[in-house]
Amino acid sequence: MPWNLLLLNLVAGYYLLTRSHYFKFEQQRLDRQRLIFESILLGVALTICSYLLRVSFEYTSPEIFKAVYSEFPVKTPFIGTSFCTILISIILSKGGNVFLDKEKYIKKAIKDVGNEFELLMKSSFTNENLLQFTLDNDKFYVAWVKELPTPSISNYVRVIPALSGYRNAEKELIFTSHYLSVYAEYIKEGKVTNIKDLNTDLVIDLANIVTVSNFDLEMFQRFNRIRDYYIEEKPNG
């Protein structure tokens, strides 16, 4: 196969690697050299498949093959195989994405190559755990993650707030808004069956987040009771 046609096979491998849900979310973390290497490997695999299809077609339908080849405008050896390689790459990417669960492969990518922040987002999204987000303006939100951010691509996280407020001068949490009681009223009145159906989504810019941590309301209340007890006892001690 001519060297110039090998570029088409590299393009086919790169296209599949960056467009298919099966590969794209993990490859976004690859450095350039690794990306090129994996594109070459995928391109070689696609080329082999394309060549086998061509040989099978030529063997089973020689007359049709000769007729198609005679009408092909470019007569360079293996040009048909190379174009078929690109066609297979597009079909696998576009067609495969119809059947592949995007969310499933985002979770897999986070599990395999995700950082600590993304792993925490995944845990909240999967297990419906509350997270506490403290922003650079001292506001905070206690919320559920509604949508997983795409690794290395999304600069925002979409959440459903449960509580919110601000941190005072001593960095203590001061609650000002309690969304849960409002959600409960809507569900009780039958207006919605799930809080995800309410249009209360909050989109937070990742650049504004200072800290993120798991939040357990019962544990938070217990810690506060213990703290208040020692504060009250200290003058008497």
Q: Are 150 and 122 in contact (CB under 8 A)?
A: no
pLDDT at 141: 95
Q: Is the dihedral of CA 100, 104, 109, 112 positive or negative?
A: negative
* b/e burial code for range 165-197 (CB count within 10 A of at least 16 → b): bebeeeeebeeeeebeeebeeeeeeeeeeebee
Question: pLDDT digits over 28-43, tens only?
Answer: 777 778 888 888 899 8
How many C-alpha atoms does 152 have within 13 Å on its Cβ side? 13
Cα–Cα distance for residue pair 78/80, rounded to 1 Å: 5
Q: Is the pTM of this model over 0.75?
A: no
Task: Pick out the chain residues at pLDDT < 70.
Answer: 1-5, 65, 68-69, 71-78, 152, 223-237
84 Rama sector, left if φ>0, alpha if ψ -120 to 50, beta otherwise: alpha
Question: pLDDT digits over 105-119, tens only?
Answer: 888 888 888 788 888
* b/e burial code for range 55-85 (CB count within 10 A of at least 16 → b): eeeeeeeeeebeeeeeeeeeeeebbbbbbbb
> Residue 5 — φ and ψ, nearest 5°?
-75, -25
Cα–Cα distance for residue pair 226/199, rounded to 1 Å: 37
Q: Domains in the chain, please, with CATH?
A: 3-100 (no CATH), 123-233 (2.30.30.100)
